[in-house]
Amino acid sequence: MTRSALDGLVVVDLSRVLAGPYATMLLGDLGAEVIKIERPGIGDETREWAPPVDAAGTSTYFGSVNRNKRARSIDLGTPAGVEEVRELIRGADVLVENFRAGYLDGIGLGYDAVRELNPRLVYCSITGFGAGAGAHLPGFDLLIQAVGGLMSVTGPSPDQPTKTGVALVDVITGLHALTGILAAVIARSETGEGQHVEVNLLSSLLSGLVNQAGAYLGAGVVPRAMGNAHPSIAPYEVLPTADRPLALAVGTDVQFRELAAELGVPELGSDERFATNHARVANRPALTEILTARLATASADEWVERLGARRVPVGPINSLDGAFALAERLGLNPVVEIDGHRSVSNPISLSATPAVYRSAPPSLAEPRA
């Protein structure tokens, strides 16, 4: 039987909604035993975030981040429930939680208390704005996108701030949590001691803003929303064709010359206004006008075929059915099915210790008698 990368790692999952459950699902995929603790009779909030629901009647939101977990219903509002969790912690390697800052300290399950139970425990706390001055602020993805700057650079124009179509900040934070947890587990192999891993949504978003944050910090530029255009690359945007739009992601001068040649305007490749990326960014409106006129002479599918043959980065604007179909055609095996539950495969491919899919998202467990 193939060994999994995290075989033997026991995770107590006290997290809810998205960032924490996403991180713990990935740990489960990599072989960890994940014990998901939920409130009796209620469970994770996302169990009720529906429609849609899958064939088994499970919220697809909940199902998207909770496979490979074993459910336990425990009431943390009772001494017996707290003691039950403490018993689980004694045999665990990792604990993940996203309660409001201070709550677990108040019931004896904070980091300082549980490290006395299990000094090897890696304890990961996920908050919205940290455990200090921002501890009282609500950590919802939409709010973080707003106050953290993401909405200011997303959307058709600066006066129409727009959220992303998925809770992207939660996903980024979940990945940061996963990275911190694995780093702490590796460090423990040397020191024998666990540690407190802390991640928050705001810091994760600022890190995830990468070049936009770099523009502000390094050059004093406050980026603004530009629709589908890119502040530093051209043409790198969505443009119309004879029937529907397509995405052009031209990142090099060689690619631009190939684009110009296929569009029937090879002279653009040597035109001083467009010969370099810097010049194309400076003259974006003029370039966009020319490209739009040329692209209007054929369909999106035809341009994808013709430009693709020249290795120009181009693609259609797919809906999710088209996106999954593309991944299937490319042999990426994007879907896993467990007991009739379909979800997105773990995107990490390991040659010796691949991801495993042992169980579908659990039903809400009954409390122990």
Tokens, residue 287: 């370039």
Cβ atoms within 10 Å of 107's Cβ, excluding its own: 16
- Active-site positions read 170
Cβ atoms within 10 Å of 37's Cβ, excluding its own: 24
Domain 10-208+333-344 annotated CATH 3.40.50.150 = no
Q: How far is CA 297 from CA 197, 294, 306, in A?
A: 55, 6, 13
Tokens, residue 32: 């960890």
d(Cα 129, Cα 137) in Å, to the nearest integer? 7
Q: 151-154: which pairs have CB atoms within 8 A and are 24 or more residues apart?
A: 152/223, 152/224, 152/225, 153/209, 153/212, 153/223, 153/224, 153/225, 153/226, 154/225
> Dihedral angle at the C-alpha atoms of 16, 21, 27, 32, nearest 10 degrees?
40
Q: Which CATH number fits domain 246-316: 3.40.50.720, 3.30.1540.10, 3.10.150.10, 3.90.550.10?
A: 3.30.1540.10
To the question of pTM greater than 0.85 for the whole model, the response is yes
168-191 helix and 201-208 helix, angle to the nearest 10 degrees: 100
Q: Is 56 helix (H, G, I), strand (E, B) or coil?
A: coil
| Domain boundaries, given as residue ranges, for the chain | 10-208+333-344, 246-316
CB 362 within 8 A of CB 40: no
pLDDT 10s digit of each residue in the chain, 369 long?
Answer: 568 999 999 999 999 999 999 999 999 999 999 999 999 999 999 999 999 998 888 899 999 999 999 999 999 999 999 999 999 999 999 999 999 989 999 999 999 999 999 999 999 999 999 999 999 999 999 999 999 999 999 999 999 999 999 999 999 999 999 999 999 999 999 999 999 999 999 999 999 999 999 999 999 999 999 999 999 999 999 999 999 999 999 999 999 999 999 999 999 999 999 999 999 999 999 999 999 999 999 999 999 999 999 999 999 999 999 999 999 999 999 999 999 999 999 999 999 999 999 999 999 988 775
225-234: b or e for each residue (b if 16 or more CB lie within 10 Å)?
A: bbeebeeebb
d(Cα 316, Cα 225) in Å, to the nearest integer? 22
